[in-house]
Structure 1
């Protein structure tokens, strides 16, 4: 009796210690339903069938793998299943040579699943190896469609060939945490211009259910939402996260990519297409071809993405404010692979009538439509980009077109290449259908570029407390814009002007322009006013106004021109 009384507290104590130090199996599990310890593929297949039959929402069927396992044919995984693989144990793709397709799939090809049909699936631990051989053709490691509450945790996926390591379409609640994606063998294809390269295959593809290659189950307009990718590593890949397809009028919502590291990615690290209310935060992007692509529907001639319209889905463009954030990322790109390479590439557009680039969709899906756009305002609306650290070589760092009601603030942007090359720190360039409107650029530091900022075809753009330093030509070039500068600092333009402007309306408040080789402010056919601030040490004139005048008041001029008194010139 005394022994029994002592035994109970001891058990309770051990239980508390195990809980405290995380010695539980996984996610609170105390036992597995089956353990595969003999490396038998047949036993593994049977265990998955048992999980399909016996697993429920209240009892997730748990399969434990403790020994290397070779996968001899494509495998189906179904609802209420957890697969846990011990550390350093390998799951090796061993399908017949030349057999492409998918190694692990949620559901069964040809099924009628739609919506978010499959539920409660977790894959955890182990090394999932594609085992690429010389005669193999392209394959995906995991394909997940029409599902909800799916998790990939604490695992490595490696050695994929011309496919995707994880491909997900129509998934509500996808969590990918502490996963290593590495060594993607893919062909780096030349575009029409042989010096312009792109790579199609994302390690993690978040796709649309439009083609038989991407969908298991029905083709429908259900999209990915509530997706978290956190603390993952992406190394030696074609692309990191994203897609090269989108359906106009369908949007991914609540997508969160946080605390991930991308290294040696040939194309972009993150590609976000038609996202709403999403977060891309605190990622490290190192030695990649491009950084972050954030776009609303873009034609496929760039090699980035194709946008499709499905006639019988009756979708409409959602032009409401989406409140997405790109923040706290470190992006370093020294070897851009494409003329379109950017650390940040932000693109939207405004379509006055339906745009059809190519008629028809793949007949296998029995859907009618075309490649192109719906009529409507596709501009990026309500995007915040803040507190990113960007360093680039031989490329423009940030490209904006077709944005509105957005903020670009407190970013550090540095160029470390040849300054004589014609690259910008920030480009805000539009055509009439892609007008930038109501954009605030504040608290940024941009240095060592050929030109710091280019802004064209935009209105209601405000630059606040932004510093541009050590530009080879001018710090800022403006054309056909309505723009305000407030509290900015522009210092050391080596060969041209502090600000060069054409056909614009300009307002300068308390802005300092110093050490420009020629003019502090050069304007052609511009109207506007300069109030307060300082214009000093400029080689020709403080202000040069041609064709139209620029008024000024309370400006501190000093040491401008050869005689030190060339403050204003009207030409």
Structure 2
């Protein structure tokens, strides 16, 4: 059988060399992994002729398979089961090739197949310095202390219609099913000893579309960064994430990222976009942050990114890293005021991002949309609902939290707390200036519908604020210009200006609040009030 197959392949290669068609190795059940590798090795030293290898059957792997440039590996109907520790099941090229640049390897397609790590340690597929990579319709399952797929320094990667399932690790942390990595030797050791491979090449033009992630530690993304260097043109859309312990998507130092129309179901956290890794505390170093070949770079402003149309449900999970500060969607940036050990001085704020038309359901102590360190961004048409009235926590939880930000537009968002006892405020602004809140609806918070504090400033226009357990709109040590709003049925005051606050209230409807319609504390600054329609406020219309 082997002899006949060999003769067949030889004849086919001769024909293809004459006609210009791809050389093709065909088999229904190779006799072993060795024979599969021999077929793939036809492009090991000379990949100028396209090669197609088709595999069927079940194979127990005692070592990894290696694919080379200009190869299509068709695995529909094939199952590969890992029977060894560490290393990967599938690789692109040899480590000793010491690849460099973005297209050292190129034009590789993997269609179908089940790659079962069998709960052995190590990632399933790892590759770098490659371009035009397509992985379609494959199943990756049951890896331990590793990633299903990890890649770095690549261009034009398309991962579509794949399934990623089953994952374990000792720490439970930082193990994305699909990891977009950086070429830092201590972190990506594949090419250890080959300095030219650690050339700082970044991932670009990555499409992760229409995949399923189920029962994994993390979904897809990058947690490690080169300070001031970025991955570009990343599209993570139309995927389904089920029962992910931690975050579904983590976009660390990405430019021009699209995260759209994903279904994130019963996950510990949703989507996290950050332009710099935050410090755990003021005295610590930034985790997972490296210099690139001994050099840090100044920040680059993201011109356009979007997180849109995602359906997200957040629940309590067994992941210990999600026991503090989980979220539906989180944005993080900051201004670094002086040079650090790794990060250079500069403005790393999140800028020019749109978060829109997302539906977020929260059943744990998670903030719906958490924004820290953003500028010139739009948060619009999002719906946030808290669903677990029995959940208890001592943490501060908000529908939308805006901190250390400026010129952010909150427009047509809905926050419905539904009486969840742990949600302090529906919309909360702290240390955030020159923002606009337009046509937002808030209801049911433990304290306030809208709360501004610590030097915040905002124009609040056409908002509907109702049925909160304290005041509707609460302003302290901040400036608010409130107009055309409807504030009703709150158990405290409709609008309350307190210590060192100032602003204006105009053309508002204020009704059925249990205390005053408007209360301006004697400790407040100047607040002008005009053209107000009061009705049914039990404590009276206004107190100054």
Scaled to the shorter chain, the TM-score interval is 0.7 to 0.9
* SS in structure 2 at match of 1:478: strand
The answer to whether structure 1 residue 335 and structure 2 residue 313 are counterparts is no
The answer to whether structure 1 residue 236 and structure 2 residue 211 are counterparts is no
* SS in structure 2 at match of 1:538: coil
- Structure 1 residue 246: Cα displacement: 0.6
Q: Which residue of 1 aligns with 2:125?
A: 142
The answer to whether structure 1 residue 110 and structure 2 residue 89 are counterparts is no
Cα distance in structure 1, aligned partners of 2:204 and 2:474: 45
Partner deviation per Cα, 1:113-146 (whole Å, 9 max, x = no partner): 11111111111111111122xxx4x301100101
Q: Is the 8 A contact 1:322 1:381 kept in 2?
A: yes
Aligned length: 498
Q: Which residue of 1 aligns with 2:14?
A: none
The answer to whether structure 1 residue 532 and structure 2 residue 515 are counterparts is no
The answer to whether structure 1 residue 92 and structure 2 residue 92 are counterparts is no
Partner deviation per Cα, 1:325-359 (whole Å, 9 max, x = no partner): 00000000121542121111110010011223xxx
Alignment of 1:181-192 (within 5 A): 181-187=164-170, 189=171
Partner deviation per Cα, 1:275-317 (whole Å, 9 max, x = no partner): 1111000001111111111101114649995222336446221
Cα distance in structure 1, aligned partners of 2:440 and 2:280: 35
Alignment of 1:494-505 (within 5 A): 494=469, 496-505=470-479
Q: Is the 8 A contact 2:486 2:510 kept in 1?
A: yes
Q: Which residue of 1 aligns with 2:8?
A: none
Q: Which residue of 1 aligns with 2:249?
A: 270
When the two chains are superposed, the root-mean-square deviation of aligned CA atoms in Å is 2.0
Q: Which residue of 2 aligns with 1:125?
A: 112
Cα distance in structure 1, aligned partners of 2:250 and 2:302: 20
**Aligned counterpart in structure 1 of residue 64 of structure 2, from 60, 69, 74:** 74
- Structure 1 residue 166: Cα displacement: 0.4
In structure 2, the CA distance between the partners of 1:283 and 1:315, relative to structure 1 (3 Å rule), is: same
Q: Which residue of 1 aligns with 2:137?
A: 154
In structure 2, the CA distance between the partners of 1:204 and 1:86, relative to structure 1 (3 Å rule), is: same
Cα distance in structure 2, aligned partners of 1:128 and 1:162: 16
* SS in structure 2 at match of 1:47: helix
Q: Which residue of 2 aligns with 1:411?
A: 382
Cα distance in structure 2, aligned partners of 1:63 and 1:381: 46
The answer to whether structure 1 residue 309 and structure 2 residue 291 are counterparts is yes
Q: Is the 8 A contact 1:300 1:306 kept in 2?
A: no
Q: Which residue of 1 aligns with 2:32?
A: 40
The answer to whether structure 1 residue 471 and structure 2 residue 445 are counterparts is yes
Cα distance in structure 1, aligned partners of 2:289 and 2:45: 39
* SS in structure 2 at match of 1:44: helix
Cα distance in structure 1, aligned partners of 2:350 and 2:108: 34
Alignment of 1:403-552 (within 5 A): 403-418=374-389, 422-429=396-403, 435-448=404-417, 449-479=423-453, 480-494=455-469, 496-524=470-498, 525-546=500-521, 547=523, 548-552=525-529
Q: Which residue of 1 aligns with 2:50?
A: 60
- Structure 1 residue 259: Cα displacement: 0.7
The answer to whether structure 1 residue 376 and structure 2 residue 335 are counterparts is no
Q: Which residue of 1 aligns with 2:16?
A: none
In structure 2, the CA distance between the partners of 1:158 and 1:311, relative to structure 1 (3 Å rule), is: closer
Cα distance in structure 1, aligned partners of 2:136 and 2:309: 24
* SS in structure 1 at match of 2:297: coil
**Aligned counterpart in structure 1 of residue 356 of structure 2, from 375, 386, 389:** 386
Question: Gapped runs of 5+ residues in structure 1?
Answer: 1-28, 190-197, 357-371, 430-434
Cα distance in structure 2, aligned partners of 1:315 and 1:207: 18
Q: Which residue of 1 aligns with 2:183?
A: 209
Q: Is the 8 A contact 2:178 2:219 kept in 1?
A: yes
Partner deviation per Cα, 1:473-493 (whole Å, 9 max, x = no partner): 211111121101111100111
Give the alignment's TM-score, normalised by structure 2. 0.88
In structure 2, the CA distance between the partners of 1:256 and 1:305, relative to structure 1 (3 Å rule), is: farther
Q: Is the 8 A contact 2:313 2:360 kept in 1?
A: yes
- Structure 1 residue 213: Cα displacement: 4.8
Cα distance in structure 2, aligned partners of 1:502 and 1:473: 14
Q: Is the 8 A contact 2:243 2:265 kept in 1?
A: yes
Give the alignment's TM-score, normalised by structure 1. 0.84
Q: Is the 8 A contact 2:228 2:343 kept in 1?
A: no
Cα distance in structure 1, aligned partners of 2:484 and 2:279: 44
Partner deviation per Cα, 1:71-119 (whole Å, 9 max, x = no partner): 22133222111110123x2012123xxx312222222223331111111
Q: Which residue of 1 aligns with 2:11?
A: none
* SS in structure 2 at match of 1:540: coil
Cα distance in structure 1, aligned partners of 2:160 and 2:89: 21
Question: Gapped runs of 5+ residues in structure 2?
Answer: 1-20, 192-196, 418-422
The answer to whether structure 1 residue 101 and structure 2 residue 72 are counterparts is no
Cα distance in structure 1, aligned partners of 2:386 and 2:186: 44
- Structure 1 residue 215: Cα displacement: 5.1
Q: Which residue of 2 aligns with 1:367?
A: none
The answer to whether structure 1 residue 355 and structure 2 residue 330 are counterparts is no
Q: Is the 8 A contact 2:350 2:375 kept in 1?
A: yes
Q: Which residue of 2 aligns with 1:293?
A: 272
- Structure 1 residue 163: Cα displacement: 0.2
Partner deviation per Cα, 1:483-519 (whole Å, 9 max, x = no partner): 011111001112x100111111110110111111121
Cα distance in structure 2, aligned partners of 1:459 and 1:534: 26
